[in-house]
Structure 1
Amino acid sequence: MADNRTMAQMLQAPIEGYEDAIVVPPINANNFELKQPLINLVQSNKFTDKEPPRLILTWDDLVSKFINQFFPPSKPTYYRNEIITFFQKPNETFNEAWERFKGLLHQCPHHGFSELHQLDTFYNSLSSNDQDALDSAAGGNFSDKMPQEGLAVIESKSKVHYSRSRANDSRVSTDAPLSNSSPSNNSFDIQQLAASLKI
């Protein structure tokens, strides 16, 4: 069956799946009054929609207008392109790249990419050193893992790497210079630093 929607209609954010996020609160009062200062405040807000009367008649109309007002069709297209063309920056750590990638996915919750596609895109965006380290953390080839296992490996590696880099930051920021330490302490500190830099 042919889809007879226009491109603009197809690009609109779906309204399904927001039932839990947008809930009509119960009205516990039988009668209530809206005071004029509150009405003036709402009318003076420059961010209110200037929609013609009787445009929104159902809850689905309101959800659709809200979603498309604050998440117009151009945003998902932009973020999908950012996700597809994602690459780890030259001086970006594994953890920073993973956090940035998750941020892009979060910015476009209805991106439409399967978990497999997301993991494959992220893995292929990494530097060869980080790909090797991820393969090592996976106990072989990263792509031999099930998607849930692969995600767990990435999350685990990201947390370990992050905690190691924080430990390195605290060690580097100590005030005691190495030259005042005994030779055995120097070699121990260098060995610890070298060990913590391995991924």
Structure 2
Amino acid sequence: MRTRSQTRNRNRQQQAQPAVVEPFHLEEPFVNPPLVPMADNRTMAQLLQAPTEGYEDAIVIPEINANFELKHGLINLVQNKQFFGHDKEDPHAHIRYFNKITSTMRFPDIPSTSIKLMLFPFSLEGSARIWLEKEPPRSILTWDDLVSKFINQFFPPSKMTNLRNEITRFQQRFNESFYEAWDRFNDLLRACPHHGFSELHQLDTFYNSLNANDEDSLNSAAGGNFLDKMPRECLRIIKTKSKVRNL
């Protein structure tokens, strides 16, 4: 029979025995050899010079395999009507005018789009020129690229939404003649070429925007109800009436 003291001594002996610990092998990680910088043999004066990188134009002009240079006459031609980037300016109208001017220029073995890319910067001034200068170097590769970036910059979606709303809510003004209202309505349509309104929608909107006298005048010209006519007949009647300035 074991006594309490014997059991206590046995436990102490077991606790006193050292634990067996397996040796721990630390593997050295793979270390890349340090990069040795190449010797910079520039002088102090050369190192202190301002950098010359990053000054390339945003527009990339395709290589022209012909003897060609821009004449002052061509530059002056596009500078006669420059785009400044004001809120009231229409970027679509500027592109249409620029295309009209450059379409008359023909040079052997030189694509017309290359001419457009070279001349377009001269058609900009003010904030519009600053915008182009801030575009990343060599970021505009084609004429379509340039038109897309130009339109998105100066005709954002919010502006299109506002113009579409103006067209939808169009109303003839007090003391505004028929032809003045028709001209103003068409100005809104031209200012928003991607409005998406069909000819039927346009004619219906304009007819319902008129005062009672001009509505009656259209009905009379139509020989009855104006809206009973086909769209092309309605458009003809409106154009005929708009030419009479005293009505």
CA deviation after TM superposition for structure 1 residue 71, in Å: 2.4
| 1:125 is aligned to 2:209 | yes
SS at match of 2:243: helix
Q: Shift of the alpha carbon at 1:121? A: 0.1
TM-score, normalization by structure 1:
0.58
Cα deviation, residue 29, structure 1:
7.9
- Secondary structure of the 1:90 match is coil
Q: C-alpha displacement at 1:54, in angstroms?
A: 2.7
Q: Secondary structure at the match of 1:139?
A: coil
Q: Higher helix proportion, which one? A: 1
Structure 1 Cα separation of the partners of residues 152 and 212 of structure 2: 40
Q: How far apart, CA to CA, are the structure 2 residues paired with 1:110 and 1:63?
A: 15
2:185 — aligned with what?
101
Q: CA RMSD in A?
A: 3.2
1:84 maps to which residue?
168
Map of 2:3 onto structure 1:
none
Given residue 64 of structure 1, which amino acid in structure 2 is its aligned partner? S
Identical positions, percent: 61
Q: Residue 175 of structure 2: SS of its match in structure 1?
A: coil
Q: Distance in 2 between matches of 1:103 and 1:28?
A: 38
Query: What is the Cα deviation at residue 26 of structure 1?
Result: 5.8
- Identify the residue that residue 38 of structure 1 maps to in structure 2: none
Task: Give the CA deviation at 1:146.
Answer: 1.1
| Bigger Rg, structure 1 or 2 | 2
User: Hey, what's the Cα distance between the residues in 2 that align with 1:158 and 1:121?
Assistant: 16
Report whether the alignment pairs 1:73 with 2:146: no
SS at match of 1:112: coil
Unmatched 5+ residue regions in structure 2? 1-90, 111-120
The Cα shift of 1:57 comes to 2.5
Aligned to 1:62: 146
* Structure 1: gaps spanning 5 or more residues: 1-12, 31-40, 166-198
Instruction: Give the TM-score of the pair, scaled to structure 2.
Output: 0.48
- Give 1:26-37 correspondences, 5 Å limit: 28=108
Relative distance call for 1:73 and 1:27 in structure 2 (3 A) is: farther
Q: How many residues in Structure 1 have an aligned counterpart in Structure 2?
A: 136
Partner of 1:146: 230
| Counterpart-to-counterpart distance in 2, 1:26 and 1:157 | 41
2:143 and 2:180 map into 1 onto residues whose CA distance is: 40
